[in-house]
Amino acid sequence: MKKPYQKPSIIKLRVGLLRDKKSGLLRMVRREIDGVPVKDLVRKFGSPLFVFSEKRLRDQFRYLRRLFESHYPRVEFSWSYKTNYLDAICRIFHQEGASAEVVSDFEYHKARRLGVPGENIIFNGPYKPREILKQAVLEGARINVDSMDEILDLEEIARETGQKIRIGLRINMDTGIYPRWDRFGFNLESGEVLSVARRIAAGDRLEVMGLHCHQGTFILDPEAYARAAEKLLRLARKLEEEFGWNIEYLDLGGGFPSRSRPKGLYLPPEVGIPPLSEYAERIARSLLLGTMARDYPLLVLEIGRALVDEAGFLITTVRSTKRLADGRRAHILDAGVNLLFTAFWYHFRIEIERELPGPPEPCTLYGPLCMNIDVVEENAWLPPLPRGTHLILSPVGAYNLTQWMQFITYRPRVVLIGESGQVEVIREAETLEDVVRRERLPEHLR
């Protein structure tokens, strides 16, 4: 019996290739997004173009909700507006049952404008202007207090409105991760929380009904959430015993990772980033072990990035190509860090609209800004790209559409591919009029 045959092969190992893009080389063609050809999208809506998939948004929401609910009986998802507050995106998540998590007056207004009732708004953030704070109180929003000054503001509002205000406390603590964020809320280990609680109880105008924490971003250790849940649960017990409050919710904030690739992460995201099921399991385990049945506190999650990032794509076009002094190839795209704020911290998946002949070689992708920092990808492996080639960058759904800048050019259209494949503009491209509308030329300069 002869052995099965495989054609002989020898592959030269390249460090760069192995580290960065080896697996990507085979999967770097993307002809369509949700069945709509990239070419058609560009022809109709222009380039650059942000594209969101309604199907991916809904699927990911449903998946995460079921995932967490299958581990713990009482879960609320609160959509983190700062991650992406386009109306259409927020509406989709609200339709799926998410409440709104806002951190500023603007975001609060935006949620109310979208028809979210006050009681479905969670109000976080280190600065809540007095006026909006009062509106939030009157409309019954859940307010997670960040500082002593805010407590004083709220006590004053309580006197004005003659009501006792129920609040949440933002807690920072050691959950075993670095960097340790200690800027949001009151510190647990130092005893600050308890002295603040005593002060609140003595004031007798406020009542603590929830605990909140926001321990970081892109947290790669699921155990950190378990420790946070455990500590908050223990604190809740203590507050209930000592002050007679009823702690109804524990809000573990956000910070859950997406399948994006942070620049410091050596491994590909599929390997280096734990699946969200691990987070769900660890959190639920802490809560279930620490709680009496029938007495489960509501678990609030402010998942942003992990819900929206992978539903967003940016189509961009190669506008020119050059060789750098060291012989490396460079491409200039029509989208740069003005649209891709997250390029500073993350590597994007780079796909080409069609198969191109020629061996991949290292190249740099620059944006259109006249600034040295405008680098979309320092080291991509791509075949020679003819001028006019469309590239599809992903995941870009989180933070880019809230942190993008209007800088030297107009911001492009954003479209949504609906579940039945129809494509709708959810944000029009900017015009000169949009940009200059708020400017005033003083009389003597006319």
Partner 1 sequence: MKLRRLAINEEGFIFDPETGNSYTVNETGLFILEKLRQGLSPEEIARLLSQEYDISPEEARRDLEDFLEVLVRYGLWKEPK
Choose the stretch contacting partner 1; rule: CB under 8 A; options: 7-15, 156-164, 214-222, 345-353.
Answer: 7-15
C-beta of 7 vs 446, nearer to partner 1:
7
Q: In angstroms, rounded to a whole number, what is the distance separating the alpha carbons of residues 268 and 272?
A: 6
C-beta of 8 vs 327, nearer to partner 1:
8
Instruction: For residue 398, give the amino acid letter.
Output: A
Choose the stretch contacting partner 1; rule: CB under 8 A; options: 11-19, 87-95, 230-238, 414-422.
Answer: 11-19
Q: In angstroms, rounded to a whole number, what is the distance separating the alpha carbons of residues 406 and 24?
A: 32
Size of the site for partner 1 (CB under 8 A): 12
x-or-dash string of contact with partner 1, 13-32, rule CB under 8 A: x-------------------
Please give the sequence-ordered ranges of beta strands (E in DSSP) within 74-196, or none if there are none: 75-80, 99-102, 121-123, 142-145, 165-172, 186-187
- Tokens representing residue 395 in the block: 């995941």
Beta carbons within 8 Å of 319's beta carbon, 6+ residues apart: 332, 333, 334, 368, 387
C-beta of 4 vs 264, nearer to partner 1:
4
Give the shortest CB-355-to-partner 1 separation in angstroms.
22
The distance from CA 255 to its chain's CA centroid, rounded to whole angstroms, is 8
Q: Which residues of 338-351 are buried (b: 16+ CB within 10 A; e: fewer)?
A: bbbbbbeebbbbbb
Q: In angstroms, rounded to a whole number, what is the distance separating the alpha carbons of residues 267 and 22?
A: 12
Give the shortest CB-364-to-partner 1 separation in angstroms.
25
Residue 294 φ/ψ region, left for φ over 0, alpha for ψ in the -120 to 50 degree band, beta for the rest: left
C-beta of 6 vs 420, nearer to partner 1:
6
- Tokens representing residue 124 in the block: 């976080």
Give the shortest CB-324-to-partner 1 separation in angstroms.
25
Choose the stretch contacting partner 1; rule: CB under 8 A; options: 9-17, 27-35, 180-188, 344-352.
Answer: 9-17
Choose the stretch contacting partner 1; rule: CB under 8 A; options: 10-18, 269-277, 299-307, 425-433.
Answer: 10-18
Give the shortest CB-272-to-partner 1 separation in angstroms.
23
Footprint on residues 185-244 left by partner 1 (CB under 8 A): none
C-beta of 1 vs 432, nearer to partner 1:
1
Asked if 7 is part of the footprint of partner 1 (rule: CB under 8 A), the reply reads yes
Give the shortest CB-114-to-partner 1 separation in angstroms.
55
Interface with partner 1 (CB under 8 A): 2-13
